[in-house]
Amino acid sequence: MDKADKVRDHLVKSAQRSFSRFGFEKATMNDIAKEARKGKSSLYYYFTSKEDVFKAVVQTEAEYFKSEVEKALEGIEDLKTRIRIYFTIRMQRFKEVGNLYAAMRNDYLKKLDFVEKIRENYDREELEFIQSLLHEGVEKGEFRVKSITDTSFALASALKGLEFPLFFNPNDQKLTERIDALLDILFYGIAKQQ
């Protein structure tokens, strides 16, 4: 990483803290520059606007999230375990990457074109990932799924539903239990087995 990349990375990390503290609407370029201990001119050298800085922050958080999931799933063959790990990490890390979460859920930010693209890409990638796990499970005879597309959509929707308690209570202690309940329904159903 050369010096310019290091400075840009430092600015993005500083912006991440500023946006987390003040929110996108209230954070200013002055706040970000102050957090970075740089002049505002340094910030404008790398970014054209607050929206441009926020875009870099959200993209950085999305990349971090994706790499954490990939690392956690590396070498794990059992599909139920892979799904459980994905669901757990997705929910735990999602609350840690607060700016990504805000971009995905904040209606005010919908007016920013790049946010809508990030949302669409994130949703598409998540659906594709869940579909690939379900498809592999069906091929191996571990899962019986009528429609991989519909089931993956239902699972992604259920995960989004689990986000709301985290939004209102970031220290929710029942997250793991809720994920386990969701996965029990997925793996074992709720009907009494005959």
Whole-angstrom Cα distance, residue 166 to residue 160? 10
What is the pLDDT averaged over residues 86-114?
69
Over the stretch 59-79, which tens digit does the pLDDT of each residue have? 888 888 888 889 999 999 999
**CATH number of the 1-47 domain:** 1.10.10.60
pLDDT at 111: 65
3-state helix, strand, coil in the chain (%, to 5): 80, 0, 20
Q: Is the pLDDT of residue 109 over 90?
A: no
Considering the chain, what is the average pLDDT of its residues?
Answer: 84
Task: Please give the model's pTM, rounded to 2 decimal places.
Answer: 0.75
Distances, alpha carbon 88 to alpha carbons 66, 154, 175, in Å = 13, 17, 8
Q: Is the pLDDT of residue 192 over 80?
A: no
Pick the CATH number of 55-188 from 1.10.1660.10, 3.10.110.10, 1.25.40.10, 1.10.357.10: 1.10.357.10
Which residues in the chain are classed under CATH 1.10.10.60? 1-47
Task: Report the share of the chain in percent with pLDDT over 90.
Answer: 38
Over the stretch 161-175, which tens digit does the pLDDT of each residue have? 887 776 666 666 777
Amino acid at 194: Q
Q: Is the pLDDT of residue 34 over 90?
A: yes
Select the more confidently predicted residue: 189 or 30. 30
Select the more confidently predicted residue: 61 or 155. 155
Which residues in the chain are classed under CATH 1.10.357.10? 55-188
pLDDT at 12: 93
